[in-house]
Amino acid sequence: MRGLRRWWDDTAGGLPAPFWYLWSGLLVNRAGAFAVLFLSLYLTDARGASESLAGAVVGAYGAGGAVGVLLGGVLADRWGRRATLLAAHLGAAGLMTALAFSRQLGVIAVLAALVGVLHSMPSPAFVAAIVDVVPESRRSRAFNLQFWAFNLGMAVASLLAGVLAEASFLALFLVDAAATLAAAVIIAVKVPETLPRHRPAAPAAVRRPGLATALTDRTFLVFVALTFVLAVLTMQTSTIMPLAMRADGLGPSAYGVVVALGGTLIVLGQLFVPRLIEGYRKATVLSVSTGLMALGFGALALADDLPVYLGAAVVWTIGSMLAAPPNAQINAELAPPELRARYQSVFYLTFPAASFVAPALGGLSLQHLGERHWLVVGGLGVVAAVGHLFAGPARERRVATRHALRPQRPEAVSGSGRR
């Protein structure tokens, strides 16, 4: 018992109460996030759309997300983290309900784009709030637990969604809306505003419009570009892989098992990752992890039955597990405190952008290249893995310089989440 207690203290000890309420809201939200996982199958099976048209509609979701993540970053720095989270969750619940009862493909595409906006708005606010309330020395633990909660919720969602999709697509959308509303309630009742009320004046170097600063930061943008490739790989599981599995004669329940396997592996193993990668350079860890993801998705070129899909899922899931803590740490380290949410928004732009690119181009690629599509995906991953090795030293110099210039003072964290 002492050993277990010591392990838990090392993994999650010392994190403030606001973090755990944010963590709980994220977990509830993701546990009910059914609809986007099966949107491409819903469009092709229930609405008669072609693979290319389905990819375009799902791509509209990603395009909306690109707007939403930037809007969320700006609002989180102006309105506050809590206000942005509440507005996004309440709006998404309403739009998801409307999407459940829509029948025309044009209306579905518009609603998908709007849902994409509101689904992406919380990302920079969530992470900025975590950075606000968690001391720097404990942020690796917090980010690891955040990734763990996300995937614990996804594992639950995937298992339930496979059953719901075969029984009723309507239920799929309505349960998603209910889970989003439940997350909003947790945030409204338990999460305080974490945006500091009295912030120090920003240095001259960051008094330009915040997004302009982030979008002209070369070191940061190289990191964002490499993360975009990783996001494109990750998005294959929710956009193109369902179509590939259907072409191999596998139904929604089989797809649910593959996605649930990845979530289960993360739930069982993610808490051990910080010790596994401790002592290694972040660039090295990211290179290895991206290489594993490239190998896993590339192996789908040989997949014809469920066991091969499951084996490939093990490989790419291990890669994503290793990537999560250093990816989040680098993002937090490169962002100036005065522009925390805006930098987060540019970073998280990679995910809705990938949500657009992966289905829009992936649908065409799968239709015309067939199984060779997965060789292209694997090749992109190899390029990103090499890129991390070359980009790592510049990131390390930036962080070292910032630490040297930062005033040495303890970081206070109160129970209310305000500094």
pLDDT category at 147 given cuts 50, 70, 90 is confident
pLDDT of residue 207: 47
Architecture of domain 15-193+211-405 in CATH? Up-down Bundle (1.20)
pLDDT for 409 beyond 50: no
Structure tokens belonging to residue 416: 């209310």
pLDDT for 267 beyond 90: no
Give the CB-side neighbour count of residue 239, counting CA atoms within 13 A: 32
Predicted TM-score (pTM) of the model is 0.72
What angle do the packed helices 350-369 and 373-405 form, to 10 degrees? 160
How far does the chain reach from its first CA to its final CA, in angstroms?
35
pLDDT category at 418 given cuts 50, 70, 90 is very low
Neighbours of 3 (CB within 10 A): 7
CA torsion angle for 251, 257, 263, 269 (degrees, to 10)? Answer: -150
Distance between CA atoms of residues 147 and 151, nearest Å: 6
pLDDT of residue 291: 93
Read off the pLDDT of each residue in 364-376 and give the average, rounded to a whole number: 76
